[in-house]
Chain A
Amino acid sequence: MIQTEPTHERLHRQLVSRAEEEGLLDLAYRTVGSPVGELLLVRSGTGLVRVAFESEDHDRVLGSLADRISPRILSSPRALDRVAFQLDQYFAGTRHEFTVEHDLGLVRGFQRTVLERLERIPWGQTESYSEVARDVGNPKAVRAVGTACAVNPIPLIVPCHRVLRSDGTTGNYRGGREAKRLLLALEGSR
């Protein structure tokens, strides 16, 4: 969504800077290429708030964030340089942990508890949905754990791809099963 005419690129960049200075940029976004397709990265004032796969339709995701968080949204690649860089390293196999501020404000309650727990599953390891349910102190909530993974707003960074079905099959994934298999292979767990 960037104008090709240099004047407009310059004006856009200046607008982003002024908006940041005046605290008017509620959400900044950019896209990055990756082995699992183009990823949309969105950050709030607090940190990374959304990572979306191509299959989710980036325009639709931004439209929904406009309604849920704020329509004050501008494209600002610079604001997401750090995340983009760490994702590149991750896909190159040289980074096993992300050190970017993130914001789970889009999820509440039990789902949030589950996602916070997932952050403790290290690179290269996996857990089953029922193990996660047990870990969060609610062993019967296996399906609810599945739902929490399905609505994870920051996949990859919050590694819901490391949660598998108890029978060892991959299970569903927001970015598609193929993407999940690729990530597990990248981490050597498959």
Chain B
Amino acid sequence: MRPFEEIVVAHGPAVLRICRSLVGPVDAEDAWSETFLAALRAYPELDPGVPVEAWLVTIARNKAVDLHRARGRSPVPLAELPEAPQSALEPAGRDHELWDRLAGLPPKQLRCVVYHYIGGLRYAEIAEAVGGSEAAARRAAADGINALRRTYTTDETKAGASQ
């Protein structure tokens, strides 16, 4: 397993960007700290197949929800996910199949899907983070969602059970 320090160095900046998007600049650093502390706690048990950055973004999203609740604000505004069930993209639970599917996406699609649908980044911000144009980021996210929808939501029983 990689030392946690490597995880902080590799993904710290991206997670801070996500935190700014989820809770705004004032609370972003608190959200970042809560995210990495929770991640450090859970890290030894992390399934090696889980894509680390997607996992961190999911934790950040949960921490953002907690912060909003604590501040008595409205829920985290997020991009609407067309057609696919919203719960399918909240892999905070122990949905191993979804993690597997996510891990199977090409890296750029994975990042675009996770940054947009879980992290709430706009495509312009995603383009800044992953490189390339805004249109390319949008396309990669769409391709990723389509791939997920093909593989994941074909099992109606599972989709129903996770709602």
Contacts and interface: CB of A to CB of B under 8 A. Distances in A.
Interface of A: 1-3, 5, 7-8, 11-12, 14-15, 18-19, 22, 24, 27, 29, 62-63, 65-67, 70-75
A5 B8 CA distance: 13
Nearest to B34: A18
Contact of B36 (A5, A15, A29): A15
B41 A24 contact: yes
Given A1-B9, A8-B13, A15-B33, A71 B1 contact: yes
A27 B37 CA distance: 15
A17 to B, nearest CB: 10
B115 interface: no
A11 B3 contact: no
A66 B2 contact: yes
Nearest to B38: A24
6 contacts: A3-B12, A15-B33, A18-B37, A24-B40, A62-B5, A74-B40
A30 to B, nearest CB: 11
A11 B44 contact: no
Residue among B3, B12, B29 with the highest chain A CB neighbour number at 10 A: B3
Contacts of A72: 4, 40, 43-44
Given A7-B16, A15-B8, A63 B2 contact: yes
B10 to A, nearest CB: 10
Contacts of A75: 5
A63 B3 CA distance: 6
Given A18-B33, A19-B37, A24-B37, A74 B5 contact: yes
B83 interface: no
Given A22-B37, A24-B37, A71-B44, A8 B5 contact: no
B8 A12 contact: yes
A11 B13 CA distance: 10
Nearest to B7: A71
Contacts of A62: 3, 5
A65 B1 CA distance: 9
Nearest to B3: A73
Residue among A8, A11, A63 with the highest chain B CB neighbour number at 10 A: A11
Contacts of B2: 63, 66, 71
Interface string B36-50: 110011011000000
A71 B12 contact: no
B8 A74 contact: yes
Nearest to A12: B8
Interface string B63-87: 0000000000000000000000000
Contacts of A27: 3
Given A72-B4, A73-B4, 7 more contacts: A3-B12, A7-B16, A7-B29, A8-B12, A63-B3, A67-B1, A72-B44
Nearest to B40: A24
**Interface pairs A-B: 5 shortest CB-CB:** A73-B3, A71-B1, A62-B3, A66-B3, A66-B1
Contacts of A1: 5-6, 9
A40 to B, nearest CB: 12
